[in-house]
Amino acid sequence: MACAVTCPVWHCFGINKKSRFRVRAERLDGNDLSVVSTDGVSVKEKTVPVVLGKGYLVDGGNGSLKSRTEKKMGCEELELLWDDGYGTNTVKDYVDAAKDMIKPDGGPPRWFCPVECGRPIKDSPLLLFLPGLDGVGMGLILHHKPLGKVFEVQCLHIPVHDRTPFEGLVKLVEETVRFEHASRLNCPIYLVGDSIGGCLALAVAARNPSIDLVMILVNPATSIGRSRLQPFLPILEAFLDGLHITAFVLMRSGEPLKMAEVGVEGRLLPTQKIEQISSNLTALLPFYSGLADILPTETLIWKLKLIKSASAYTNSRLHAVKAEVLVLASDKDHLFPSGEEALRLKKLLPNCMIRIFKDNGHTLLMMNLWWKGFLNFASCSSLFSTMENGKIVKGLAGVPDEGPVLLVGNHMLLGMDLSSLCEAFLREKKILVRGVAHPELFWGKFHTSSNVFNFFDLMKVMGAMPVSPKSLLKALSTNSHVLLYPGGAREALHRKGEAYKLFWPNQPEFVRFAAQFGATIVPFGAVGEDDMAKVVFDYYDYMKIPMLNDRIKEVIRNGGVQIRDKAKGEVASQEIFIPGMIPKIPGRFYYLFGKPIKLKGREDLVENRESANEVYLQAKAEVERCISYLLKKREEDPFRSIINRLIYRTFYAPLHQVPSFKP
């Protein structure tokens, strides 16, 4: 199955007023229904049939259910996404949609498929969303469009006045999971549980350990016993007025600024961003009053009691959970101690990973989790490539569209060149570049030192692999575009005065790997780090300090992952220590992709090391030529200054279209 990219760091769409949210709806009797019916669960002494995305569940006799399958929806294949639709919905859309769905209809809990998710593609996996306290089922509204391009999405809706106990909700979800599992053999089912929905997901997983489930738990309510709200529950139950609603909403909402950031274009000027955020904050005002309608007093009290029973039920069964679990926790959750709970669940669940988000409140799915970084905005990268006839052109036309392609070049300081390079390939060619990265990012101290979501996680999401012969061969065998920095960490963490100096090993191994699959090697050079920062304190300076000297040697000896054990000399030194830097007024990044070196039909290079070394030296020389060319030509760029670029951007075009020098 192909890979799709949903990457918040690159979402840059403006906020606009949208039409009201709709859901796909059907009813067995042919009458109109705002949401899809639930499966056969007794609620208020009534049993209703099921309508699911793949077909009807009808009475099969003796209490069993059987399927009346509909025609499979969707036939297109999954493709790589640059514009995936994230950012087109905001919290205001949630309030508007919720107002339509909280109207009493007398119905029980049920599933619905958001229309904005689109038609599911062929063989798409199922994602079931289990809502939080609101119960509306619209908690994923900010992500409906991107998720709909990958999954068949179904959301659980629990009406405002419904009083189904937790065991009834567990049965509802469980029967749906079992039915879908029977019709989707060898395909995992994804459960996304928000708050109390996290308890629901864990309970279902505990009762069905043999079903292949992948669970994403967002601030799960299993920690209600340690909640800051716990001492106030008797008070809330005693005072049946609207005052407690306001206090509860403020606690639950968490971070209004994070909500207002959703949909703000990352490429806007600072003043324009401030204006947009201010406007969004004003638009959020109905959110607070709207929640009072979604959670009226009686419903809120019922939901708080429901959380207690859900937490007790689930915690007593955690030992039976065998599914893969990813816990997303807010560090500033004012409702539950979600950060601490994530750590607890990681210890109790055998297949559990956690990621903690700093400066986010309880409604994590309603917030902007990662903004496009200042570096990409400031550097305003300019890319060039070389055609087969040797002509240098603006853009990436000279880089082959079809793989396998091996991009080899120089690493700039701290790997600052990575994100803008990968973004350019996504934007211009819709190609996901698979980077091979230092093993420290995967199983070294960078991986184990923190559970906080960070840049290294983003690299993995974007397809980064640990550098090894196995990873490189696997990526080339799938006709991928692979990004390799032969200089590795030694170039990225170079010393003072070593900018743009190559530290490549002597072994031509990547040439032999590329030849094995008939890949095309594209050498490239990148410059601009000296316009961004100056190294003033490097590894050698660290080693001159006695106390630091001993500590550094100990860390390298005990915890460092070495990938050049057989190399000799300076090139073998890849100690992972961040140099001290002084930032500069941001300049601009430049990339030049040299003339492609085609290795199709050159299988002889696999065994002939001498010939492979000739190609290796050719690629290295081409990288050095590209660096020299860019260092010279950037002096001709009228927009090398950030001031000139911002002025041009204000009146004319997006940053990636700001002109540069003529090649």
Is the pTM of the predicted complex or chain greater than 0.85?
A: no
| C-alpha–C-alpha distance, residues 154 and 76, integer Å | 20
Sign, Cα dihedral of 241, 242, 245, 246: negative
Cis check: omega of the bond before 404, within 30 degrees of 0: yes
For residue 536, give the DSSP letter: E
| C-alpha–C-alpha distance, residues 413 and 489, integer Å | 9
Cβ-Cβ contacts under 8 Å for 197 (sequence gap 6 or more): 129, 130, 131, 132, 139, 156, 218
Give the residue from 221, 223, 107, 240 showing the smallest Cα distance to 166.
221
Please list the alpha-helical segments (H only) found in 13-133: 91-101
Scanning the structure block, which residue is given the tokens 């690493």? 411
| C-alpha–C-alpha distance, residues 326 and 491, integer Å | 34
The backbone torsions φ and ψ at residue 426, rounded to the nearest 5 degrees and listed phi first, read: -65, -45
Beta strand pairing call for 65-69 and 55-59 = antiparallel
The pLDDT of residue 324 is: 95
Cβ-Cβ contacts under 8 Å for 294 (sequence gap 6 or more): 98, 102, 134, 136, 160
The backbone torsions φ and ψ at residue 373, rounded to the nearest 5 degrees and listed phi first, read: -65, 155
Give the residue from 97, 87, 108, 1 showing the smallest Cα distance to 45.
108
| C-alpha–C-alpha distance, residues 633 and 384, integer Å | 12
Beta bridge partners of 59: 65
Strands (DSSP E) found in 260-397: 324-330, 352-357, 382-386, 392-394
Cβ-Cβ contacts under 8 Å for 419 (sequence gap 6 or more): 9, 373, 375, 376
Beta strand pairing call for 352-357 and 382-386 = unpaired
Residue ranges in the chain whose pLDDT is less than 70: 1-78, 228-292, 368-378, 439-450, 454-456, 551-577, 653, 655
- 590 and 528 in contact (C-beta within 8 Å)? yes
Strands (DSSP E) found in 126-269: 126-130, 152-157, 189-194, 213-218
What would the DSSP string read from start to end of 33-53?
A: -SS----S--BTTB---EEET
H helix or E strand, kind and range, residue 405:
strand 405-409
The backbone torsions φ and ψ at residue 553, rounded to the nearest 5 degrees and listed phi first, read: -65, -40
The pLDDT of residue 359 is: 76
Specify the 3-state DSSP secondary structure of 68: strand
> Which two three-digit tokens encode residue 383?
């890319």
- 503 and 494 in contact (C-beta within 8 Å)? yes
The pLDDT of residue 28 is: 31
